């Protein structure tokens, strides 16, 4: 298991709508995340849209993302959510996540 932290930026004008969508994540998307080792997954957001994500990966961040790339539901979700993020044009959110280095953990 590897603890993973990452950053993304939600467009400020879409923060409330973004939060609403995450209160209603598609069941198939949740199933795919679990299938590919995303455990104890949480998202945190600042008022300016800076988003911090945390999850515990079965193997690694890269392997968890690779697994999700094989899921059609993930493709649909990424396309649906792309307008909410400050990302490069023609990119999708999960390709824009900036992984953070873990420097401390207290059990």
Q: Which residues are the active-site residues?
A: 22
Query: Rounded distance, CA 107 to CA 80, Å?
Result: 37
**Directed axis angle between helix 72-81 and helix 27-35, to 10°?**
120
What tokens appear for 89 in the block? Answer: 């044009």
| Residue at token pair 């995340």 | 33
Give ∠ CA 56-9-30 in degrees, rounded to 5.
40
């Amino acid at each position: 298991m590897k603890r993973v932290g990452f950053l993304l930026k939600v467009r400020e004008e879409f923060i409330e709508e973004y939060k609403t969508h995450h209160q209603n994540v598609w069941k198939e998307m949740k199933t795919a995340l679990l299938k590919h080792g995303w455990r104890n997954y949480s998202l945190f957001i600042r008022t300016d849209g800076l988003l911090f994500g945390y999850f515990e990966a079965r193997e690694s961040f890269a392997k968890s993302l690779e697994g999700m790339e094989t899921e059609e539901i993930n493709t649909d979700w990424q396309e649906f959510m792309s307008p909410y993020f400050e990302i490069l044009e023609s990119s999708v959110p999960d390709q824009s996540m900036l992984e953070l280095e873990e420097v401390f953990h207290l059990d």
